[in-house]
Chain A
Amino acid sequence: MSITNSQSSSSAPSSARAQVMKRSVQAAFDDPSDRGLGSGYQSKVRVVDRYKVIGFISSGTYGRVYKAVGRQGQPGEFAIKKFKPDKEGEQIQYTGISQSAVREMALCSELANLNVIRLVEIILEDKCIFMVFEYAEHDLLQIIHHHTQNPRCPIPATMVKSIMFQLLNGCQYLHANWILHRDLKPANIMVTSAGQVKIGDLGLARLFHKPLHSLYGGDKVVVTIWYRAPELLLGSRHYTPAIDMWAIGCIFAELLSLRPIFKGEEAKMDSKKTVPFQRNQMQKIVDIMGMPTKERWPYLTSMHEYSSLGMLQTPMMHHHSSHHQSHHGSSSKSSASTSHLEEWYYRTIGAHSGSSTLSPANGNSSGLASLGAEGYKLLAGLLEYDPEKRLTAQQALQHPFFTTGDKVSNNCFEGLKTTYPNRRVSQDDNDIRTSSLPGTKRSGLPDDSLARPAKRVKEA
C-alpha cells in the first residue's frame, strides 16, 4: 500500500469537474485536508483506493453509512460506516474516538457467526474511522414496513419462524461470548438477499464478564425505549442478557402485528441529567402484560423505581375485550395483574388469518394462525417480567415452537413469492463535512419518523 497520495491531485485541475464531484457521495470520502505532511498519522490503506462508493444509505449521530463495491477484486457489496470526528470550531480535529466506536471496533474484530454482521476491515484515515461490513439488502424495519403498505398483509408464518430462529441464534452466540447487545430493534436486524438474518450495530454492545464497574455506572440509558426491558424501566442497577431477550420478544410481537407492541412515549432527560421514570412506556407494558407483582417477580420490590408503579393506571384492554372472547378465563374477574398477552396474541394472529382472504396470500402457510399455541408460549417466555425467569437465548432456541409445525429454514425468504424492495441508496449526499442530521433517519423509508424514537444513549 502506498502512503503517497495520488487522489488529492485529481480534485485540483478542472474546477467544473470538481464542482460536479462535490455533490457526489464520493466526495464524502475525499477530504483533502492535511494530506502529505511528513509528520503525523497516515493510514497505510486508503478507503478510496479499496472501495468505490455507490451511494448513501443512512445517517445517525455517529456518522453515515454508505454502500460500496471493492476496487481491488473483493467480491460482493459492502456497507461502510463512517464515524465522523467531533468538530471543534471549523477545523476537524482528533478528539479521541468515542467509546461506542471503540467497543464496536473491538467487538466486531472478534466476532464470527452467521447471524451476526461480518466486519470486513477497519480503515482509520483522515481523522475518520471507516468500518467496512458485508452488505445486507434488507432489515426488519424495512420488511415490517413493506407489509404495512397496501395491501397490508402479515409476514408469512414460515418467515417469522426463520427470522426468530436466526435472530435467537445470533443472540445466543453474543451471550455465550459475554456480549450484551443492548440495542436490539428491527432497524438493527439486517437481512441479506439470501434470507440470512444478521444482528448489526454493536455500537452499544459490551462485555459483561466480571465488569470492573456495575453496568449501570457506564451507560445510564440503554435500549431504544419501545424495546426496553421492565427491569431497565424500573431502574435496575444490574442487568443481564435478559434485557436482550425482552427486546427479542418485542421484535417477535412486532413481526406478528406489524407495529411495536409497547409503543410508549419517551420522557426526556431533564436538565439535571437525572434519568426520569418512563411512565408512559411502563404503562404500555402494563396495559398488555398486567401489573407486575412480587409473586411473579420476587426482586420487584427492590427495584429503584418500584414506588413509581403506583402512578400507573390499572390495565384495561379497552377496545377489544368484548369482541374476541378467547377461550381462557373470563375478563370480568380479571385483576390488575392479569396478563392480556394471550388475548393479544390470538387476536393478532387470528385477525390476520381472518382477513387473509382480502389480501393476496403468499402461500398456504402464510396464515399466522399456524404458529399456534407454541408461538404464544415462546412470546410469553420472552416477555416474562422477571428477568431470571425470562427465557435465555439458548432455551428459546430449544423451544418446541421451532420443532412443531413448519420446518425452520435458514433462508427466511424460502418459498416466498413476494420480493422486498432493495435498500434505497441515494446519490446526492449533502457534503458530509458541513451537514449533520440528528437522530437516526433512514433514507430507505418515507418520513414517518414520528413513529420511530431516535437514538438511545447518553454516554456517561
Chain B
Amino acid sequence: MAASFWESTQRRYWMFSKEELAQMREKLCDEDPKLVQMYPLPDWKYLYIYFNQQIVRLGKRLSVRQQIVATAQLYIKRFYCKVEIRRTNPYLVITTALYLACKMEEAPQHIRLVATEARSLWPDFLSLDTSRLGECEFFLISEMNSQLIIHQPYRTLATLQSDFYLTQDEINLSWSIINDHYVTDLPLLYPPHIVALTAILLSLVLRPNSMTGASAANNIAAAGAALAQAQAGRGGMGGSNSGQTTPGAAGATDKDKQQEARFGKVQRFAAFVAESQVDIEAMVDCTQEMISFYEVHEQYNDKATRDQINRFIKARGLDKA
C-alpha cells in the first residue's frame, strides 16, 4: 500500500535477490543469443552510469526535482529486467520514464516539451513525434504492471536525520549517497530504509573528498566495524566483541572535538541499529555495494559505453522504429 512499504507492490513484486536478478538478465540474453553476440554491451553497472548521466541531463533541462529523477531511474531498471535492451531505444525509454515519473510525482510536464528537450539532447536518436513517447509509455506501464508508486529512501532520511543529530553536511552527503544508489542494482535488492540507514552510516564515517585510495578502505572498515558492533550488541554478547570493534576509540581520547562528536554519532547509530529489527546483513552488503560502485565509477569509460549503445540503436534502426 501507498503508506506502508511492507504491503506495497514495490516490496511484493519488485524486490529481488541477486541470484534472481542475474537469472532474469540471463533469460533475456538467452532469448536471442545472436542479437546479444552481434551487439556486445558493457556490464549493467556501466550502462547504468551512462543512463544516469543522460537522465540527469534531461532532468536539468526540464528543471525536475531529484526525487522525480530517482523514480524514473527505478522505472528504467524495472523495465530492463523484463525487456532486452537491444530491442529498445534507450534514449526513448529514458525520456519516457522521466515523463511518466513527472506525472506520478504530481509535477506533470507537457509531452511536447519533454519530446522537444529530449530531441535537443539526442537529435540523432529521437524524433519530435510525441506519439512515440506516448507509445513507449504504454510499453513501460505495461511491463511494470501499472505498479508505479515508488518508495524512496529520501523519506526515511528526512525522518531520521534529527534522531541522529546529523549536520547539514552529513545530511547532504547522505542525500547524495542515496542519489548514487539509484545508479546501482540496490533499489531492486533492498528496501528503502536499509538504503537510507546505510547512507547515513556512510555519511558519518566518510569524510568529504575521501573517496579515493587508502582512506576509503579505512572508512569501509569503520562502517563495517560499526555494523559488527551493532550486530554483536543485538545478540546480547556484545562484551566479547566490543573491544575490537572500536577503531575510533583511540582517536576520541585526543585531538579535535569534531572527531569525538562523529564518533559519538557512530556509537549512537550502532546502538539504534542494534536495538531495531533492521537487517544488518543487508546493510553490510549495501555498504559494500556502494563502495564498489565508487570504485567502478573510476574505471568507467564514457565514450566506449556510449558508442556501444549508439551502435545497436543505429544498426537496428531503433531510432526510427
Instruction: List residues of chain A with CB under 8 Å of any chain B CB.
Output: 39-41, 43-44, 93-97, 99, 102, 105-107, 109-112, 122, 124, 127, 176-179, 206-207, 209-213, 218, 459-460
Contact = CB atoms under 8 A, between A and B. Distances in A.
B7 A112 contact: yes
Given A41-B139, A110-B9, A212 B65 contact: yes
A106 B105 contact: no
B106 A95 contact: no
B137 interface: yes
Nearest to A208: B106
A110 B2 contact: yes
Contacts of A211: 106
Contact of B103 (A39, A93, A99, A112): A99
Given A97-B141, A212-B65, A102 B2 contact: no
Given A177-B2, A178-B3, A210-B155, A94 B135 contact: yes
Q: What does DSSP make chain A's interface, helix, strand, loop or mixed?
A: loop
B229 to A, nearest CB: 33
Interchain residue pairs A-B with the least CB separation, the first 9:
A94-B134, A96-B111, A106-B148, A177-B3, A94-B131, A105-B146, A94-B135, A177-B2, A122-B146
Contacts of B132: 94
B142 interface: yes
Interface string B127-166: 0001111111111011001111100000100100000000
Contacts, number: 105
13 contacts: A93-B134, A95-B130, A105-B146, A106-B146, A106-B147, A109-B145, A110-B1, A110-B149, A122-B141, A177-B2, A210-B155, A212-B67, A459-B108
Contacts of A43: 142
Chain B contact-residue range equals: 35 or more
Nearest to B2: A177
Contacts of B142: 41, 43-44, 124
Given A96-B111, A99-B108, A209 B3 contact: yes
Interface in B99-123: 99-100, 103-108, 111
Given A99-B103, A106-B104, A109-B9, 8 more contacts: A94-B131, A107-B2, A110-B147, A110-B149, A124-B138, A207-B149, A210-B155, A212-B68
B104 A102 contact: yes
A91 to B, nearest CB: 9
Given A107-B2, A213-B106, A218-B106, A94 B138 contact: yes
A174 to B, nearest CB: 9
A117 B227 CA distance: 45
B299 interface: no
B64 to A, nearest CB: 9
B59 to A, nearest CB: 13
A208 to B, nearest CB: 9
B65 A109 contact: no
A209 B4 CA distance: 12
B38 interface: no
A110 B8 contact: yes
Nearest to A98: B103
Interface in B32-63: none
